[in-house]
Amino acid sequence: MPPQEIIRKKRDRVALSDAEIAAFINAATSGDVSEGQIGAFLMATYLNGMTIDETAALTLAMRDSGRVLDWTGLGANQARLIDKHSSGGVGDEKITLLVVPLAAACGVLVPNLSGRGLDYCAGEVDMLDAIPGYQTAPPPDLFMRTVREVGGAIIGPTLDLAPADRKLFYVRDVTATVESVPLITGSILSKKLASAPRGLVISVGSGSGAYMASLDDARRLANSMAEVSARAGASSVMLVTDLDSVLGTAVGNAVGVIEAVDFLTGKHRDPRVLDLVLALTAEMVVLAGIEAEVAVAGNRAAAMLDNGGAAERFARMVEALGGPSDFLEKAARYLPAAPVVRAVFAEQRGFLAGMNAKEIGLTLVALGGGRTRPDDAIDLAVGLTGFAQVGDPVDNTNPLCMVHARDEPSFELAAKRIRAAVQIASAPAGASGPIVRERIVRRA
Ligand code: URA
């Protein structure tokens, strides 16, 4: 069937067969359909959705667009292969850089395929591209060796692993087709299943900084991913999170890496980031069979963070994948820095009561830290740091955040956007609620 017939069926709300979905995904991967046709397929899917059978077929076709890793050489240790992912959120991308080394320090083996920035959320792969020498698309053998020897490795989709996601991702990024349950399910799980872990822990964001703004939509996404994972033989835990405000204090690529390094080395740990990192790691430790109880696993993870175990694994992962051996000690020297770094103050003094976190993410894109065309090169140096948290006082000494910009006009535009995106109350406003809102456990 020609690709336009497959697109027409989706446009006309006719369910696609497994073979039709596989044919379209194969053609997208090989370049036999154009970016325009991929965009049309994505928009038809965004508007009309997919049944769970179609979503599972999409996921498996995307996984099978490349190879699936074979870990049989690990013998019984294959049970410790557990991966994590996030469905995306403003500030959330740094969490993978923290959880993968922490879980590795706890004894989990983490073969992590992450994503680039997507629409208004930054992504792990762009962040890691800011580290000189770090290979985000290494040969599979190097990836597997790093997982075996260090305990974890973070890379992106490659020409061998989930290449279909690589293709679709670039088009989704700039076509307003991201916020779709089947497309997110296919994108995340194709990568997860290509690296062949035995179990998955996924944080599913809800709120203004997440692709699923409402709790109900986040639950739908969590249930879709849990069902498709189970059909593919992987047990999963979904933690539905509250991303109604910027998570942590940095938004951007190089600046996000600095926040991650500061967290791992104990220089600064945002409390909500800490809670989420420990919660995700604890679930991975339990799924790996290392501990039986989540609470006990959480204590093990906290100890590994405090004794420097996670920081050491991060440093080893960076070196193994081609980055500097002293990156942890000299991160700021290695990362690109923006020439203009200035504070943004609120228009009135008071307390931060809330924000439109998506607008904050779009501010990063406007600064040059995200893409507006699939082939855009992005500015890895720009971003936001020291973002105030809900409940914090803001006045002429306590800024909303620092903007890292390429020039003065971009700083001015970003400052204006940020001021318009936040709500300030005159009386102390309550802090954000717990980061984890719900937990969904699904055994395969
Ligand atoms: N992360 C991904 O890898 N894909 C998505 O679609 C969303 C978040």
pLDDT digits (tens, 9 = 90+) for 251-307: 999 999 999 999 999 999 999 999 999 999 999 999 999 999 999 999 999 999 999
Residue 242 domain-assigned? yes
- Pocket of ligand 1 contains residue 115 by CB under 6 Å: yes
Q: How far is the CA of 85 from the centre of ligand 1 (A)?
A: 8
Tell how strand 152-155 and strand 110-113 pair up. Answer: parallel
Do residues 165 and 89 share a domain?
A: yes
Asked if 262 and 391 sit in the same domain, the reply is no
Does 63 reside within a domain? Answer: no
> Is the Cβ atom of 95 under 6 angstroms away from ligand 1?
no
Please report, for residues 143, 155, 419, 421, the alpha-carbon distance to residue 139 in angstroms, rounded to integers and kept in the order given.
7, 10, 44, 42
Please state the rounded mean pLDDT for residues 34-43. Answer: 97
Q: Residue 403: give its domain's CATH number.
A: 3.90.1170.30
Residue of minimum CA distance from atom 8 in ligand 1: 87
Mean per-residue pLDDT, 203-220? 97
Task: Give me ligand 1 centre to Cα 184, in Å.
Answer: 5
Marked catalytic residue, from 10, 191, 219, 316: 191
- Shared domain for 129 and 28, answered yes or no, is no
Q: Determine, yes or no, domain membership for 96.
A: yes
Position 20 pLDDT exceeds 90: yes
145 plus 258 within the same structural domain: yes
Residue to mutate (ligand 1; options 90, 187, 211; most atoms within 8 A of CB): 187
Please tell me the predicted confidence (pLDDT) of residue 234: 96
| Least confident residue range of 156-165, 239-248, 343-352 | 156-165
Strand 401-405 and strand 340-344: pairing?
antiparallel
- Could you tell me which residues come within 8 angstroms of residue 195 by beta carbon, excluding any fewer than 6 positions away? 69, 83, 111, 112, 113, 161
How big is the chain by its Cα radius of gyration, in Å? 21
Which two tokens mark 183? Answer: 């497309």
Residue 210: pLDDT above 80? yes
Burial 224-250 (b: 16+ CB within 10 A, else e): bbbbbbebbebbbbbbbbbbbbbbbbb
- pLDDT at position 376, please? 87
Residue 42, amino acid: L
pLDDT score for 269: 98
Percent of the chain, pLDDT > 90? 96
pLDDT band at 36 (very low <50, low <70, confident <90, very high): very high
- Taking CA atoms only, the protein residue closest to ligand 1 atom 1 is 87
- Mean pLDDT within 236-255: 98
Beta carbon of 96 within 6 Å of any ligand 1 atom: no
Assess whether the C-beta atom of 87 lies below 6 angstroms from ligand 1. Answer: yes
Question: Is 399 part of any domain?
Answer: yes
Q: Does the CB atom of residue 187 touch ligand 1 within 6 A? A: yes
Say if 58 falls within a structural domain.
Answer: no
Instruction: Measure CA of the first residue to CA of the last residue in the chain; give whole Å.
Output: 34
d(CA 58, CA 15): 12
Same domain, 38 and 160: no
Mean of pLDDT values over 26-54:
97
Query: Of 10, 63, 80, 85, which is the active-site residue?
Result: 85
Name the residue type at position 165.
D
Residue 156, pLDDT score: 93
Question: Which residue, 174, 36, 44, 35, is CA-closest to 21?
Answer: 44
pTM greater than the 0.95 cutoff: yes
**What is the average per-residue pLDDT within 338-348?**
97
Q: Is residue 17 part of a domain?
A: yes
Mean pLDDT of 387-415: 97
User: 114 with 199, same domain?
Assistant: yes
Atom of ligand 1 nearest to the CA of 85: 1
Based on the domain organization, do 255 and 136 belong to the same domain? yes
Contact 240, 433 (CB under 8 A): no
pLDDT value, residue 374: 83
- 55 within a domain of the structure (yes/no): no
Q: Which of these is catalytic: 172, 300, 404, 437?
A: 172
Are 125 and 118 in contact by the 8 Å Cβ rule? The answer is no
CB-ligand 1 contact for 184 (6 Å cutoff): yes
Query: Per-residue confidence at 432, pLDDT binned at 50, 70, 90?
Result: confident
Same domain membership, residue 190 and residue 223: yes
Ligand 1 binding pocket includes 88 (Cβ within 6 Å): yes
Atom of ligand 1 at shortest range from CA of 87:
8
The mean predicted confidence, pLDDT, of the chain is 97
Please tell me the predicted confidence (pLDDT) of residue 302.
98
What string of DSSP letters covers 66-131?
S-----GGGGGGGGGBEEEEE--BTTTTHHHHHHHHHHHHTT-BEEEE----BTTB--HHHHHHTS
Amino acid 428: pLDDT: 83
Q: How many residues does the chain have?
A: 444
Q: Reply yes or no on whether 267 is catalytic.
A: no
Residue for token pair 């220089």: 267
Q: Domain of residue 288: give its range.
A: 72-332+436-442
* 134: confidence class by pLDDT, cuts 50, 70, 90: very high
Given pLDDT bands bounded at 50, 70 and 90, which one contains residue 399? very high
Cβ atoms of residues 285 and 106 within 8 Å: yes
pLDDT for residue 383? 98
pLDDT value of position 34 = 96
Mark whether 295 and 154 lie in a shared domain: yes
Half-sphere exposure of 96 toward its Cβ, with a 13 Å CA cutoff?
31
For a substitution probing ligand 1, which of 188, 193, 238 has the most ligand atoms within 8 Å of its CB?
188
The token duo for 293 is 């109880």
Q: Is residue 67 part of a domain?
A: no
C-alpha 134 – ligand 1 centre gap (Å): 21
> What is the arithmetic mean of pLDDT over 428-444?
92
Mark whether 350 and 235 lie in a shared domain.
Answer: no
Q: In total, how many domains does the chain have?
A: 3
In angstroms, what is the span from residue 187 Cα to ligand 1's centroid? 5
Q: Of 190, 202, 197, whose CA–CA distance to 157 is shortest?
A: 190
Q: Are residues 235 and 320 in the same domain?
A: yes
429 pLDDT more than 80: no
Cα separation, 18 vs 60, in Å, equals 9
Let me know if 165 is a catalytic residue.
Answer: yes
> What is the mean predicted confidence (pLDDT) over 361-373?
95
Candidate list 92, 165, 173, 270, residue with the active-site label? 165
Check residue 155 and give its pLDDT.
Answer: 97
CA–CA gap between residue 162 and residue 62 (Å, rounded): 6
Q: Are residues 289 and 420 in the same domain?
A: no
- Whole-number pLDDT of residue 285: 98
Q: Which residue has the tokens 């104990």?
A: 266
